[in-house]
Amino acid sequence: MAVSISGLRGWHPGEVAMQSKLGFAEAMSSTWQKIEDRMREQHRIFHTGNLPFIPITTIDDEGRPWASLVAGADGEIGFVEGPDLKTLIVNARLWPGEPLLDTLNKWVDGNGQNPTSPERYLTAGIGIEFPTRRRNKFAGYIEDVKRITKLDFRLNLQVNQTTGNCPKYINTRQLVGCKTTNPSIAYEKRHMTQFERLPKEVIEFITNADTVFVGSVYRSDPATAAKFPSHTGMNARGGLPGFTRVSPTDGRSVVLPDYSGNRFLSSLGNVESSKQIALTIVSFTTGNVLYLTGTAENLVGPPALEVMVKHASITVMKTTGFIFIRDALPVRQQFGTEVERSPYSPKVKYLVEEPKGQASAGGVHKATLSSATQLSHDLAVFRFKVTSKPGAEPIKIRPGQAIALDFMEWIGPPAYQHMANSAPGSINDDRVRTWTVSSTHEDRDVTWFDLTMREMKGGAVTGALFDVLRHSSNKWETPITITEDVVCEVVGVTGDFFLGQGNVNMLWVAGGIGITPFLAMLSALSERRAKENGDVVLALSTREPEMMLKLVQASLRNALLKLRLRIDIFTRQDHVDMDGIDQGNIRIKIHKGRITPNYFPEVASDRDILICGPGGFGDLAMDGLRAAGVSDDKMLREGFY
């Protein structure tokens, strides 16, 4: 049996440069040895027996990379043969406009001789089994091509580099072959003029994508060619729909964020060296394919943050050519199946120049932790003071709204982990958190705000905040001045879950810490005092009834003159101390156990209903209300902050 050896003799200068920029150089200094010079047997079987299509890199006459697609005529598995561990035979049906078509015709017509550039017949591919997220990469060169028809070719690819690949951002899909494609070229502009923009349809296609295939090339320096020969690369990037952005200013600069991966940085290293990149996007529902090629630059740190909000490693491609083909790929997502999003994918980040990017850029307002009150071992109220840049629009918060805060500068980025199956979201944790504001700031600019929060087990931000509080004092239920410098950026105020003006006739349903928006609403109502009539029922499910009642009492700084408040507490606790609150217009009733559907018919009639609590709690509450005859348009449910 042949023994695999490394397909490399070290990382090339572009890879070393990117590993150094991102702080991985020392850790990655010898991992190039993991790149093998042939396929393992399981990889040969994988490429020949598991894949309905394969993205491969090709180089055009001008030396530009394109990310091409090869598939069989019917889009079924089995179009690839693997006679040995160094060879893949691809029986491909191409379509007009596919960049690989030019390469193969050039080979056949010239018998593989006199290429226009030394890299013309280099190639690389990535096999992805989308239902399982398995994927493996290879690189090598075209050994031979046979043209069967104008669109059918038999390619002999020689493999000299192989590796497994990071699967964690792949969105899983069930794929089937499609025998009835009718490819047609919608746009073909292989050489864009200086100020030309991508068509609106193409831009929308890019910004709706959740998967991008990335082609790249490394051109050797004659002085080091023996050690670092020229080669191409193929990779795939995945994320939430919209993770790839397009500059609204020039309409052609495509921005691809870099997420935490295996740290090889081969694609980025190739880009760092060649300043070129190819991107291809597929619609798995229509078979439409978009090919892009262009010049590229990697940006790390402050230069990246000037382009994309709160993302410090990006690649910016200025498109020089593009092709958009409808109904081309003979592979589709199986009808009736859903995409399963990767749990590792971070939230979509926008460009600084985009309106949504400007809204989320932050930096105009800072919030500094000034005091805190510990209520229990994992419950506390944190007060933040707001400072704003001169001329900044003041912050406005309606009762019940939430505020998003960025703690990256204080906490710092997460330590590198390749995978974190127990907490996949931690891999790209941007340290941005959103909480409902529990204080009220009606009819005035916000100069401070309170957050009533529970410490999350393993939480990077809540854990750090509670640590500061514990180090400051061991007293409970007493406000403590915080001397440690805890500063965050105010990203923005969010939420349509708020108390409006006018008379109120409402049912509030709260589960545990889901009481926080209602604390702000109660505080607002107590400030309004005689302005409005109303009747509110607060149905509260909690394990800490006395603590929750203290929070309610603290929110009612003024007596309720024209508002009746009924508080129904559902708890397993046998005795609840209600001294000081069950008086005047406030009535409290204790119910043993959880909220049941039988509760709602009495209290829900003719009321507007607000619900806030964990997912399962909110689902049960809505089901119970529906059973009581309440229509969905009478209910508003808050995302649980």
Tens of pLDDT, residues 201-233: 999 999 999 999 999 999 998 888 889 999 999
The Cα-based distances of 434 to 72, 365, 406, 612 in angstroms read: 48, 15, 9, 14
Is residue 596 a contact partner of residue 602, using CB atoms and an 8 Å limit? Answer: no
pLDDT at 473: 84
Q: How far apart are CA 584 and CA 224, in angstroms?
A: 87
pLDDT at 640: 56
| CB count in 10 Å sphere of residue 384 | 25
pLDDT at 7: 67
pLDDT at 359: 62
Instruction: At 383, give phi and psi (nearest 5°).
Output: -105, 130
Residues 488-502: pLDDT tens digits?
988 888 878 888 888
CATH code 2.40.30.10 region(s) in the chain: 362-415+427-494
Give the pairing type, strands 331-333 and 365-376.
unpaired
Give the pairing type, strands 534-541 and 563-571.
parallel
CATH code 2.30.110.10 region(s) in the chain: 13-171+189-333
pLDDT at 206: 98
| CATH number for the domain whose boundaries are 362-415+427-494 | 2.40.30.10
| CATH number for the domain whose boundaries are 13-171+189-333 | 2.30.110.10
pLDDT at 117: 79
* Verdict on whether the full-model pTM lies above 0.75: no
CATH code 3.40.50.80 region(s) in the chain: 504-637
Q: Residues of 396-424 as b/e, b for ≥16 C-beta within 10 angstroms? A: ebbbbbbbbbbbbebbeebeeeeebeeee
Architecture of domain 504-637: 3-Layer(aba) Sandwich (3.40)
Residues 399-425: pLDDT tens digits?
999 988 888 888 876 544 444 444 444
DSSP assignment of 446-471: -SEEEEEEEPPTT-HHHHHHHHHHHH
Residue tagged 């060169």 (tokens): 141
Q: Which of the two residues, 269 and 66, has the higher pLDDT score? A: 66
Q: Which of the two residues, 424 and 591, has the higher pLDDT score? A: 591
Would residue 465 be called left, alpha or beta, if left means φ above 0 and alpha means ψ between -120 and 50 degrees? alpha
Is residue 296 a contact partner of residue 315, using CB atoms and an 8 Å limit? Answer: yes
